Structure 1
Amino acid sequence: MPDMEKIEQYMALVDTLVQIADKQELVACAKLLAMNVAHYAVKYGELPLEERVAKVDPNELNYEQAELVIAGMATLIGVLGSVIQGLDEKTEH
């Protein structure tokens, strides 16, 4: 059974970080994530993007899809956290 609580927590944290980040920080995050995807594609071949994951209601994810969402959100959280300048000061409010 998918860990829906973890998905909800990660999604909420991503939403918070996106609200805290300024435009330049979001651009930096997107560039880093794009480079990661490009590196994977060059090294291992095109990364199949499961369109159905993006369209599926989070409550209807199977275990494999849920694990993919969790891993993706964890990566996004890490990259956003690394590019946001003064994150500690911005989150103390």
Structure 2
Amino acid sequence: MKRLAIFLLTLSLLMGAGLAQAQTMVNVNEADAAALAAALTGVGQARAEAIISYREANGPFQSVHELLQVPGIGPATVELNLDRIQLGNEE
């Protein structure tokens, strides 16, 4: 019984952490590399820096799917993060 209680507590903590992360929003047109890497699944420091380099060279992202033009960012990464990405022009 004690093992079941520990298992359920652990499971609820893990699920709660996943929900908290899913609600973390990041503006890809303003965030620094550390914020991008922390908020986006499948994006580490190198890919975050690539997002910033692309943004600096081409101007702000007009569409979430424009991230596909960034080296190392593919459709799966964009799909995983659709609920986290902001462009800064949503009002």
Asked whether the two chains share a fold, i.e. TM above 0.5, the reply is no
TM-score (normalised: structure 2): 0.30
Q: Which has the higher contact order (CA 8 A, sep 6+)?
A: 1
Specify the structure having the higher radius of gyration (Cα).
2
User: Which has more strand, going by share of residues?
Assistant: 2
By percentage of residues, which structure has more helix? 1
